Amino acid sequence: MSSTVGKVIRCKAAVAWEAGKPLVIEEVEVAPPQAMEVRVKIVVTALCHTDVYFWEAKGQTPVFPRIFGHEAAGIVESVGEGVTELKPGDHVLPVFTGECKECRHCKSEESNMCDLLRINTDRGVMLNDGKSRFSINGKPIYHFVGTSTFSQYSVIHVGCLAKINPAAPMDKVCILSCGVSTGLGATLNVAKPPKGSTVAIFGLGAVGLSAAEGARIAGASRIIGVDLNPKRFDEAKKFGVTEFVNPKDHHKPVQEVLAEMTDGGVDRSIECTGSVNAMISAFECVHDGWGVAVLVGVPNKDDAFKTHPMNFLNEKTLKGTFFGNYKPRTDLPNVVEMYMRKELKLEKFITHEVRLSEINKAFDYMLKGESLRCIIRMDG
């Protein structure tokens, strides 16, 4: 890798030229890293629903041409001025949100919402100079959430890279960069279910199943999955879900169904759908006195949440979380070690695998609802 330091690298990348159109494998030029930046060889990446959401650009600011991708693992190729924590050859996880370690949020033990590097889906350039590090024939190709991992090389702010154990298999731990950590942390870091407790999980997609995995690790005695798709229950059993409730099967609000099932309410609930109705149900289904509900799903911008104030006066607690309350640089290396100790089982999430040249297949799997996570190997 040393022969490329300070030089432009030409490599393959999957470029989205316009919203909703198939990605095109192009040769792109990747500039050297500037101050506080790192150029990373992306070894493996995965497709997350967030990539699909912004690729479709339905209701979001369209930023094209663009290189998507934000769940990945790679190897540091070179570092820019001021980077001291990483060196060429280090193994890293790029993360869509960062940790500058200097702002009030980073210095707080209670927050992971970095002022400098918090997710910005509209920004397609680097913070240092407001320019892209990707180009084709001199024309800029825009970045996505500071990571752009659908390229064999990417330039990323050092604060958005978690240094990990080089023995960790990249094709497994790459999925810790987003959804799995979000759901896992929502349970372990925010809901914190006591051993033997009852936990309800609203939404059994990848994030919800990660939340269920967290409940299993915490020692919950009952994990109740709530989803409108009955086909998801068999898969959910692999993640510790013990019971399944489909709201469509009942003539009363699902929170009342759950309260009847659990002698007054569940101890903890985690909402992973983004539906305001599910958020209300998740809050109202927890037991008074000690119940805690955690909201993970992202609602539509015009949504409003309505519940009776007595729910709070009866000592039900409502919390929200961003990226499972994990600080990327500080905490993700420890989550990787959970996998290495076999406490966390990531293989269950990986349903498909393709090469970079076949990346549009990954989008097809996701759009058809066939995929939890599709791994994309960047070497072909």
Catalytic residues: 48-50, 70-71, 100, 103, 106, 114, 118, 178, 373
Separation CA 378–CA 153 (nearest Å) = 9
Work out the number of other CB atoms within 10 angstroms of the CB of residue 311: 18
- Whole-Å CA distances, 285 to 6, 245, 266, 370: 57, 13, 6, 30
Separation CA 324–CA 206 (nearest Å) = 14
Separation CA 232–CA 251 (nearest Å) = 21
251 and 235 in contact (C-beta within 8 Å)?
A: no
Of the candidates 167, 152, 214, 196, the residue with the CA atom closest to the CA atom of residue 349: 214
Separation CA 133–CA 347 (nearest Å) = 33
The helix/strand/coil state of 129 is coil
Residue 198 main-chain phi, psi, to 5 deg: -110, 130
Instruction: Determine the residue type at 277.
Output: N
Could you tell me the two tokens for 375? 């791994």
Could you tell me the two tokens for 347? 């293989």
Instruction: Output the CA torsion 97→103→109→113 (10° steps).
Output: -30
Of the candidates 348, 346, 358, the residue with the CA atom closest to the CA atom of residue 170: 346
Separation CA 242–CA 138 (nearest Å) = 55
Separation CA 124–CA 107 (nearest Å) = 27
